[in-house]
Structure 1
Amino acid sequence: MCFGERGQTCAPCADCANPEAARITAQIQLLVAVENPMLLESVTEPRCLRAVAAEAMGLGVPLGDNCGGSEPDPIIHGSRFNGMRPMRQADTSWVKVSVLIGAGAAVALHVGKVPAALPVLQSELGLSLVQSGWVVAIFSVVAACVAVFLGTVSDRFGHLPVAMAGMVLTALAGVAGALASSGNILLVTRVFEGFGFILTTTSIPPLIMKAASQSQRQASLALWGMYMPVGSGLMMALSAPLLYYFDWRILWWVASGLVLLAALPVYSVGARISDGSSLAAARPAIARTLKTALRRGPLLLSVTFAVYAGNYMVLAGFLPLLLVDLNGFSPMMAATASAVIVLFNALGNGISGWLHNYGLRYSTLIPIGCLGMAVGGGLVFAPELSGLWRMVAAAGFCGFAGLVPSSLFSEAPNRIPHPSFLATVSGLLVQGAAIGQLLMPPLAAAAVAWYGSWSAGITFMVIGSGFIAFCAFVLSRTADPVHA
């Protein structure tokens, strides 16, 4: 049984004329159509169905141990099937998944190194207030402009090579920043750090998919959401003691060194889970990946991520000011407390991954997270709250908030026709988050200034959390087209 364009059958070939082979290939056609209909659509000339099934298995389409029968198929799993290797479902390698998440956390160190060092940078390098703002915000600016396009680069040229290039670029730019003698030079190095950060964080999710078994891919991708709070929060917490004994450059050296250190196991893991031939066959054209990313489902994921990231940035950014203005904390104590509280977001992401492993989905977890964000965020902005309870409320907000990004990352593969599009959609999520981080804090500040009290933030938190839950509801009612 052979087929041509869009699965049309043609005259049987010698191999497929065998009745047993015809039965097996019919089963394979059904499985390929269900698991990867894009593959059938891509056929431009009559080909043996066995060849397409072989290509499907090379791309990771799980045809199973028996392809629908009760016994293992001798044609698929034996030498008669053109030397095709069995694709038995392997267990998830959590060590490999942890290594890949660690790579994301390593590049996220470069996000958390700046806030505590900013006063020293202003005095030593003569940074103006405007330059200081750009040094802090440049990652978000770069991501808001080009993240989805850098994701297409990863899908087109290979996830492992692009991830490695991103990590090396981040580390080298960090080294250059440590040697900077002026604010302008430091700002340029931050731009390159931003590009490396995005290349890395859009390329890692597809590698995590390859390292995870099919039944645990969503849980593994949910855990990927930990990378940002772990990396940035850890660096923020370590910044104060490091700056006490050393100058600001130590933060740049430490972050760059850890990225290079993390790159070695990432390369080893990536080389083991990547199949060069299947990757080459699966790489889509850039225009096609962009078309896939700009569908309703991925766009809704991005909008939801934008509002979440903006809401989170409002609370994380204003929390030190609230602790200083309303509770009398010293600036250093407020900054340290805020850094520790950020780590609760990593805990929320981890719990979300565990819950995904037991079958809970975004449609359940995001509303729960939004409820916690609304209550915790509202309490944080309550003027009469004590410092201790304000920190408890902030920790609760961050923990419940962790259910949101993890759920969005885990849902991304369900909105694409093939894993070869995942880096592009990850880039779209990163781009949405960056846009939210840039737009929502100024809006919240304007609301507080207009109202004349921090309590305006309560309304902002409740509305933002409600909108995230609404987006999740709309997403659950949105079905994306199957074909790319």
Structure 2
Amino acid sequence: MQRQVEASARIGKSDAAPTSWGLVILLFLIGVTAAFQVGKVPGQLPAIARELDLSLFSIGLIISIFSLIAAVGGIFVGSLADRFGSLRLIVTGLALGGLASLAGSFAESGQALLASRVVEGFGFILATTSTPSLIVAVTSAAERSKALGVWSMYMPAGMSSMMVFAALLSALLGWRGIWQLTAALNLAYAPVIWLVFRTRATPKRAGAQPSPRFREVFTAALQPGPLLLAGCFTAYAGNFLALTGFLPLMLERSGEASAAFAGFLTAFVVAANMLGNAASGFIAERGLSRPQIIAIAAAIMGIAAVGVFLDDLPFALRYGLALIFSAVGGVIPGTCFGAAQNFAESPAKAGAIFGGLIQGAGIGQLIGPPLAAAAVQAVGGWHGDALYIAAGATLNLVMALVLSRLIPAPSRSHR
């Protein structure tokens, strides 16, 4: 544990300057812009499937390809950021995503569209895995938790906003126009980030230290602490998608909402996640260790999920519990990002650890819905989903308690 405390202290020494919140917002918008590539898909799938004659399997691949890339490449991409510099990879990721989206807008087959989505996904991972290291570099130790909490909002913010924009503009632009819109946004934002940050100290450039070797950054990411953090993120992501992914179907089949209204209600549940994201940095200042925060949030998620799938409860109460599930669960991503700095010897070696978190999220998103569906089929009802989420929450709680042996509660001087 002493090694992790010393590592956190070394990072803190590089942050005597006050936090530049303007730069933090610019970095947050990197994630939002990249997440537009995820949010553009759901509402356009019916039109894409008809025009390109896609099978259900192909549709599933188009939806899940980002999670698959994250699940297999998060740590590797994070190590690239440590080796070659976060700024270069962010700009490359935005540019790749934009060019791939533009190419995808001209796809005439499912294979061509899927190929473009693979490149989009790689660009997405490059950008989102590399950005937290820059956030560390532009924040003071006292305010870093808040900044990383803001960063953790990027996925729900980008997804939900693009889902709304796409719904409003799809009649005018069609799915190809939506693809071109997200391409333009990514391609336009890449030079903005380059121009703003190219003359500023980045994790690779600060201190004029040599770039760490791949072995060093991989070793850092594969230590027990970072692996437990990634495991917590895996359990959280799997649980979150197991509920929000099946909530519209459950509401429609139960007769409690039409398909359109069920989607609308679910969008609010997803958006509630941002409340926890934003609050995570402030909660970390209340004296609890980050593993304790993760454990408490995981327990509340598990309890709330059980209530969501209890048919005997009134609909309003069940929906309220879904909102609580999402809002409280939103504390976990920001807390995990904040905890990652405890295991990095310097900002220049944090990328692979942040990449491990992204990889954990990708794994959870991949395995969560299928395992939940298997539980529903095995039990014969939606309460099987509740049992799966409760089991995942219990696992998350146990991992957080083990993690608490490695990360102490914060002192007043290091919050």
TM-score by length of 1: 0.78
Q: Provide the secondary structure at the position in 2 that maps to 1:273.
A: coil
Q: Do residues 242 (structure 1) and 242 (structure 2) align?
A: no
1:10 is matched with none
1:24 is matched with none
For CA contacts below 8 A with separation 6 or more, give which structure has more relative contact order. Answer: 2
Q: Do residues 130 (structure 1) and 57 (structure 2) align?
A: yes
1:192 corresponds to which letter in structure 2? V
Task: Select 2:298's aligned residue among 370, 390, 394.
Answer: 370
Q: Do residues 175 (structure 1) and 102 (structure 2) align?
A: yes
1:62 corresponds to which letter in structure 2? K
Q: Aligned in 2, Cα 1:357/1:478: closer, same or farther, shift over 3 Å? A: closer
1:29 is matched with none
Q: Aligned in 2, Cα 1:429/1:329: closer, same or farther, shift over 3 Å? A: same
Point out the more displaced range, 310-319 or 351-360. 351-360
Q: Provide the secondary structure at the position in 2 that maps to 1:121.
A: helix
Structure 1 segments unaligned to the other structure (5+ residues): 1-33, 39-55, 64-87
Q: Distance in 2 between matches of 1:207 and 1:352?
A: 19
CA displacement at 1:37 relative to structure 2: 11
Q: Distance in 2 between matches of 1:253 and 1:359?
A: 47
2:411 is matched with none
Q: Do residues 98 (structure 1) and 30 (structure 2) align?
A: no
Q: Distance in 2 between matches of 1:119 and 1:379?
A: 32
Q: Do residues 113 (structure 1) and 40 (structure 2) align?
A: yes
CA displacement at 1:383 relative to structure 2: 2.6
Please list the CA deviations of residues 119-154 of structure 1 after superposition, one character each: whole Å capped at 9, or x if unmatched.
Answer: 111101111111111000111111111121111111
Q: Distance in 2 between matches of 1:337 and 1:282?
A: 51
Q: Provide the secondary structure at the position in 1 that maps to 2:254.
A: helix
Task: Select 1:254's aligned residue among 181, 200, 204.
Answer: 181
2:13 is matched with 62
Q: Distance in 2 between matches of 1:409 and 1:456?
A: 31
1:423 is matched with 351
CA displacement at 1:450 relative to structure 2: 1.2
Q: Distance in 1 between matches of 2:61 and 2:8?
A: 45
CA displacement at 1:282 relative to structure 2: 4.4
CA displacement at 1:272 relative to structure 2: 4.5
Q: Do residues 89 (structure 1) and 6 (structure 2) align?
A: no
Q: Do residues 451 (structure 1) and 402 (structure 2) align?
A: no
CA displacement at 1:99 relative to structure 2: 0.9
Contact 1:168 1:196 in 2 (8 A): yes
Q: Distance in 2 between matches of 1:236 and 1:227?
A: 14
CA displacement at 1:334 relative to structure 2: 1.6
CA displacement at 1:271 relative to structure 2: 2.4
Q: Aligned in 2, Cα 1:393/1:243: closer, same or farther, shift over 3 Å? A: farther
1:365 corresponds to which letter in structure 2? I
Q: Do residues 475 (structure 1) and 399 (structure 2) align?
A: no
CA displacement at 1:367 relative to structure 2: 2.6
1:166 is matched with 93
Query: What's the C-alpha RMSD, in Å, of the aligned pairs?
Result: 2.3
Q: Provide the secondary structure at the position in 2 that maps to 1:247.
A: helix
1:285 is matched with 213
1:326 is matched with 254
Q: Aligned in 2, Cα 1:280/1:194: closer, same or farther, shift over 3 Å? A: farther
Please list the CA deviations of residues 383-442 of structure 1 after superposition, one character each: whole Å capped at 9, or x if unmatched.
Answer: 344544433222111100101111000000101212112111111111111111111211
Q: Distance in 2 between matches of 1:287 and 1:426?
A: 16
Point out the more displaced range, 457-466 or 171-180. 457-466
Q: Aligned in 2, Cα 1:373/1:176: closer, same or farther, shift over 3 Å? A: same
Contact 2:99 2:187 in 1 (8 A): no
1:105 corresponds to which letter in structure 2? V
Q: Provide the secondary structure at the position in 2 that maps to 1:440.
A: helix
CA displacement at 1:277 relative to structure 2: 4.5
1:220 is matched with 147
Task: Select 1:412's aligned residue among 323, 340, 353.
Answer: 340
Q: Aligned in 2, Cα 1:61/1:363: closer, same or farther, shift over 3 Å? A: closer
TM-score by length of 2: 0.91
CA displacement at 1:355 relative to structure 2: 2.4
* Matched residues, number: 403
Q: Distance in 1 between matches of 2:7 and 2:396?
A: 31
Structure 2 segments unaligned to the other structure (5+ residues): 409-415
Q: Do residues 142 (structure 1) and 69 (structure 2) align?
A: yes
Contact 1:305 1:429 in 2 (8 A): yes
2:180 corresponds to which letter in structure 1? W
Q: Distance in 1 between matches of 2:351 and 2:212?
A: 12
CA displacement at 1:112 relative to structure 2: 1.6
Q: Distance in 2 between matches of 1:391 and 1:116?
A: 23
Please list the CA deviations of residues 315-362 of structure 1 after superposition, one character each: whole Å capped at 9, or x if unmatched.
Answer: 111011011111342222222221232111111100112323555541
Q: Distance in 1 between matches of 2:192 and 2:295?
A: 37
Q: Provide the secondary structure at the position in 2 that maps to 1:253.
A: helix
1:144 corresponds to which letter in structure 2? A
Please list the CA deviations of residues 99-119 of structure 1 after superposition, one character each: whole Å capped at 9, or x if unmatched.
Answer: 101111110111121112111
Q: Aligned in 2, Cα 1:398/1:280: closer, same or farther, shift over 3 Å? A: same
Q: Distance in 2 between matches of 1:346 and 1:267?
A: 27
Contact 2:52 2:109 in 1 (8 A): yes
Q: Distance in 1 between matches of 2:237 and 2:32?
A: 17
Contact 2:226 2:353 in 1 (8 A): yes
Contact 1:35 1:61 in 2 (8 A): no
Which structure carries more helix by proportion?
2
Task: Select 2:309's aligned residue among 381, 392, 395.
Answer: 381
Q: Distance in 1 between matches of 2:313 and 2:181?
A: 37
2:82 is matched with 155
Contact 1:377 1:397 in 2 (8 A): yes
CA displacement at 1:254 relative to structure 2: 2.4
CA displacement at 1:378 relative to structure 2: 1.7
Q: Distance in 1 between matches of 2:94 and 2:405?
A: 38
Q: Aligned in 2, Cα 1:378/1:200: closer, same or farther, shift over 3 Å? A: same
Q: Distance in 2 between matches of 1:327 and 1:250?
A: 35
Q: Provide the secondary structure at the position in 1 that maps to 2:406.
A: coil
